[in-house]
Amino acid sequence: METIEEGKDLLLYLDGRRKYLVRVKADEEFHTHKGVVKLGKLIGRPYGVKVESSLGVTFYALKPLPKDYAVKFARRTQIIYPKDMALIVLYAGIEPGSKVVEAGTGSAALTSILAHQVKPSGHVYSYEVRREILEAARRNLERAGVLEYVTLKEGDVTRSIEEENVDAVVLDMATPWLVVENAWEALKPSGVFASFSPTIEQVVKTVETLKASDFTDVETVECLIRRYQVEAGRTRPETLTVAHTGYLTFARKTLK
């Protein structure tokens, strides 16, 4: 049975909306509006155990999942939502051993999910034009335990992509249509171009460029998730929901 170790991260779960990613230390206390949790008392206990705060409120000590790191990262930029990350991984066929180029590192939330998917034998090459963003991204990836599977690069993929024969090029940037030619050069035959865009105008330019280039199977989708409040006699959709977050465009490289 896997147990909680000092120096490792832990997800303290209160309810569906209140989850806290904390680092376990013997002498640390975690303060919440529901009381204080003594983290040191959890060392050596199994994941999933209940723990009471100083006010008698029950928390659960869970092992963090990749998505928990992604949504809890310290960030200066808006991240892609987990629902969109999941579709990118599925539609782009990203799996252990995949070689992936990403552009628009940001806080490295999507980068961390891509790295989890490609390990232990794959690699992610993540480009970012803002140098000041990269150090924070590095710290986030290190905390998530996937930094060894990522190469962070200061660079502009609209000018060039250094990697060749990659399985996928994944873009989270304002002008993905300007990367289509360089993406084609970097991808292996049948490799996947994937881009996330918040506005339909970006999608139209990207799709038009893809269709005018050597790409096929061009597809744009939107992922909407509606959560439910489930209680006997009171089950209904939650009042507040995250609906539109962005559009995902995919295409496959063909030979000239």
Give the closest residue to 110 by CA, choosing from 65, 198, 172.
172
- Please give the structure tokens belonging to residue 113: 């999910």
Residue 241 has what pLDDT? 80
Residue 242 has what pLDDT? 79
For the whole prediction, is pTM greater than 0.85?
A: yes
pLDDT at 93 over 90: yes
The answer to whether position 138 is within a domain reads yes
Minimum mean pLDDT range among 14-23, 98-107, 181-190: 14-23
Residue 77 has what pLDDT? 65
Give bridge partners of residue 32 from the DSSP assignment: 35
Residue 76 has what pLDDT? 63
pLDDT at 30 over 70: yes
Q: What is the CATH number of the domain that holds 50?
A: 3.10.330.20
By DSSP bridging, strand 35-38 and strand 29-32 are antiparallel
As a whole number, mean pLDDT of residues 202-219 equals: 98
* 39, 143: one domain: no
- Please give the structure tokens belonging to residue 82: 């987990």
State the residue range of the domain holding 43: 9-64
* 18, 71: one domain: no
pLDDT in tens, 223-244: 998 889 999 999 999 888 878 8
As a whole number, mean pLDDT of residues 133-160 equals: 96
Residue 190: left if φ>0, alpha if ψ -120 to 50, beta else—which one?
A: left
As a whole number, mean pLDDT of residues 10-36 equals: 92
Minimum mean pLDDT range among 42-46, 67-71, 122-126, 152-156: 67-71
Residue 74 has what pLDDT? 65
Question: In this prediction, what percent of the chain has a pLDDT beyond 70?
Answer: 98
Place of tokens 């918040």: 198
The answer to whether position 197 is within a domain reads yes
Q: Are 133 and 105 in contact (CB under 8 A)?
A: yes
Using CA atoms, how far residue 211 sits from 7, 61, 202, 254, in Å, is 50, 49, 14, 11
* 123, 244: one domain: yes
Rounded to whole angstroms, the Cα distance separating 65 from 71 reads: 10
